[in-house]
Structure 1
Amino acid sequence: MEENGKLQAAALSEVAHLKVHGRTTGSLSPLTLFWTGSAVEFNIRGSELWIEVEADYNQHEPWISMLINNVPVSRQMITAGRRWICVFRGMNGNAVKNVRIVRELQAMSDDPGCLLQIHAVKSGGEFLPVADKALKLEFIGDSITSGEGVVGAKPEEDWIPVWFSATVNYTAMTAEALDADYRVISQSGWGVLTSWDNNPSRNIPQYYSQVCGLLGGERNEALGALQINDFEAWQPDAVVINLGTNDGGAFYSPEWNDPLSGKAYKQRLNEDGSFNEHDLEAFERAAEAFLVKLRYYNPQAQLVWAYGMLGTPMMPAICRAVDSYVSRSGDKRASVFQLPDMTPESAGARSHPGRLAHEHAAQALSGYLQNILRPGY
């Protein structure tokens, strides 16, 4: 990509060596980054690198982080439009740099206009192969897994993209500790059976088989978000499910009324304040059914239900669901792991786990995964 010492631009599809992280349709013309933690990675020998990005949104602008040799060097909002952004310049042209451009913001189910694409690169250097890591991990979750509140001061309460981070996050930290490639499927407020406000359509399992099925709008559909994901192309060694927090919160939220059918939905409390047994059983059935679905699409993976960063009210129900799945299926590669709870010292913005809480979770989870994925390693 160098001609007479000048920088040369090339479409992403023309780059000889690159690596895409996160669920995509496989298209590089351009590359659409749908999920938090989705990224494009290069190994480049050169002194300068630019990327051409395009963003759009109705309300919530996407953010990116740029990492050089696994260290974040820039984090920025991408405003609407198409433009070139400098990743680095003036560096040693003979040294090979590992570069990752990471989407920091979750897929925005309530903003069909939210878009982040990478079209091209510009460099005077040489792109080299990017090797796969030793393991592959998939994380499924809600606002915790989306890194909501991990950036920002504790008093912050605005629900805006700047407070989300995919890089200052237990998912990235766990993957780094295990030398793993990873993917994230997460959505703030969503659960296994219902969202925090009792909306039964806002559950992760019903969209799991699609590339990014929770996105709406004609443009997302045209980009392939609703396509069935190519599971054979990327099989994880472990699937980590961090769901249940919002299902528990639904018991304390008002009922949700479907504007189309008029039907009301509510996870109920008993008179003594305990969870209604019938509604808990509905959650357990949904959790068990999700494990069945996960096993279908990930036949060799360890299934680890990791829960507890914002309390553990749903832990008994989660344990019953996993035990029932193991008993019915005979599948011994499913387990429950309790994550360390957030403390006042480790809290972040929006009453969510902060960086310290994510570090504690990653340390505990990576140790557990190490034992089941690499026993005696």
Structure 2
Amino acid sequence: MVAKEGARVIELENIEHQKVHGRTTGERSPLTLFWTGSGVEWNVRGSELWIEAEAAYDQYEPWISILVNGEWVSRQMVTAGRHWICVFRGMNAEVAKNVRIVKDVQAMSGDSACRLQLHAVKTDGDFLPVEDKPYRIEFIGDSITSGEGVIGAKAEEDWIPMWFSAVQNYAALTAGALDADYRILSQSGWGVLTSWDNNPNANLPRYYEQICGLLTGEKNRELGALEPNDFAAWQPDAVVINLGTNDGGAFHSPAWTDEATGETHKQRLNEDGSFNREDLKAFEAAVERFLVKLRACNPKAQLVWVYGMLGLPMMPAIYRAVDAYRANSGDRKVSVFQLPNTTEETVGSRSHPGALAHERAARDLTGYLKELLPPVTVKG
């Protein structure tokens, strides 16, 4: 590391003014970034800023993006070990810069060694207060919400962290358009009842009440990933749920077998290719149960179930489940919104929605959420 003379090292726990994004523990020495889109934000008045990051992994390395004054200026892999990374240098020392360090890659349930932590900064400047945004939005989803496929050529098919983006995905873009702070809980291949390959353990509702309970391994347990989430500390104005795509895919995938018990699980198709009604009802019941859990954890939030960027096969079942929840609970702050389908022009890598698809989805969703969110109170 070559930093400006006079720059000083400050541990994160000693920075008075900073905003931490994403679910995590109260530990700041170091700060562990679990979910996609998680990170840290500062207003820095100085000419230079470095961050000290630490990464570990067996298969899937973390990536980060750096935003300065709201603009995406850098993206890079964080290789294993502890490193100093330059955020900016040579800037006007008298002008405050808003800086965000964003974890681009989802929590990797398939790699128990994968982790990303921030230890300290090195700067010649000072940290100024970071104001909260007028809204808070939580996004829950699968690979689409993880931003898989946003980066990379259409020909790319390797399942690697390089093709994920937490900056260009619809969640970040929607939050930006609404001037909202946001959190993302997402996992590629997972659903509300089962994963794409019929694994009933790979569903987001099972782990929703933990900080990041889908992670495995003793190290993640030590870091607090399995601890209960403190919902009182961060209450959203809206929860956007984008699940169902993988549940639909499960109907067309082979049965999943539990290696420990030998039990199998399969979402079945009828002989004519339609969905088995009994299995479809199990999906609808899972949607309704998740809405009950979401309302218990987020008593005042708008609950918006969104779907459609990779087809609409589960949309009738989603509508039925949401209608059943509304009828049984009397809850009127819950709705369904259809996102625009991905086309040949908007597809990205790995046959997933590309940047153009996410931009279009964000525009549509932003317009819808504006109708639901309370008006911003002007400070005076």
Question: Is TM (by shorter chain) over 0.5?
Answer: yes
CA–CA distance in 2 between the matches of 1:25 and 1:6?
Answer: 32
CA–CA distance in 2 between the matches of 1:191 and 1:375?
Answer: 33
SS at match of 2:303: strand
CA–CA distance in 2 between the matches of 1:226 and 1:247?
Answer: 25
SS at match of 1:369: helix
The one-letter code matched in structure 2 to 1:221 is: R
**TM-aligned CA deviation for residue 5 of structure 1:** 5.9
**TM-aligned CA deviation for residue 375 of structure 1:** 6.5
CA–CA distance in 1 between the matches of 2:36 and 2:197?
Answer: 23
Q: What is the aligned partner in structure 1 of residue 264 from structure 2?
A: 264
Question: Given that residues 134 and 376 in structure 2 are in contact (C-alpha distance below 8 angstroms), is that contact kept between their aligned partners in structure 1?
Answer: no
Q: What is the aligned partner in structure 1 of residue 219 from structure 2?
A: 219
TM-score normalised to the size of structure 1? Answer: 0.98
CA–CA distance in 1 between the matches of 2:15 and 2:298?
Answer: 31
The one-letter code matched in structure 2 to 1:277 is: R
1:1-377 matched pairs, under 5 angstroms: 6-374=6-374
Using a 3 Å threshold, how does the CA distance of structure 1 residues 375 and 313 change in structure 2: closer, same or farther?
Answer: farther
CA–CA distance in 2 between the matches of 1:374 and 1:293?
Answer: 23
**TM-aligned CA deviation for residue 26 of structure 1:** 1.4
Deviations 1:140-198 (A, max 9, x none): 00000000000000010000000000001100100001000000000000000000000
SS at match of 1:67: strand
Q: Write out the 4+ residue segments of structure 1 that deviate beyond 6 Å after TM superposition.
A: none
CA–CA distance in 1 between the matches of 2:106 and 2:26?
Answer: 19
CA–CA distance in 1 between the matches of 2:15 and 2:338?
Answer: 43
Q: Note the aligned Cα RMSD (angstroms).
A: 1.1
The one-letter code matched in structure 2 to 1:153 is: A
CA–CA distance in 2 between the matches of 1:48 and 1:69?
Answer: 14
The one-letter code matched in structure 2 to 1:104 is: D
SS at match of 2:326: helix
CA–CA distance in 1 between the matches of 2:26 and 2:361?
Answer: 32
The one-letter code matched in structure 1 to 2:295 is: R
CA–CA distance in 1 between the matches of 2:227 and 2:144?
Answer: 26
**TM-aligned CA deviation for residue 16 of structure 1:** 1.4
The one-letter code matched in structure 1 to 2:9 is: A
The one-letter code matched in structure 2 to 1:282 is: A
SS at match of 2:152: coil
SS at match of 2:193: coil
- Work out the percentage of aligned pairs sharing the same amino acid: 69
Using a 3 Å threshold, how does the CA distance of structure 1 residues 375 and 53 change in structure 2: closer, same or farther?
Answer: closer
Using a 3 Å threshold, how does the CA distance of structure 1 residues 145 and 5 change in structure 2: closer, same or farther?
Answer: same
CA–CA distance in 2 between the matches of 1:248 and 1:375?
Answer: 36
SS at match of 1:6: coil
Unpaired runs of 5+ residues, structure 1, are none
CA–CA distance in 1 between the matches of 2:257 and 2:54?
Answer: 37
Count of residue pairs the alignment pairs up: 374
CA–CA distance in 2 between the matches of 1:16 and 1:332?
Answer: 41
Deviations 1:325-372 (A, max 9, x none): 000000000000000000110000000000000000000001000011
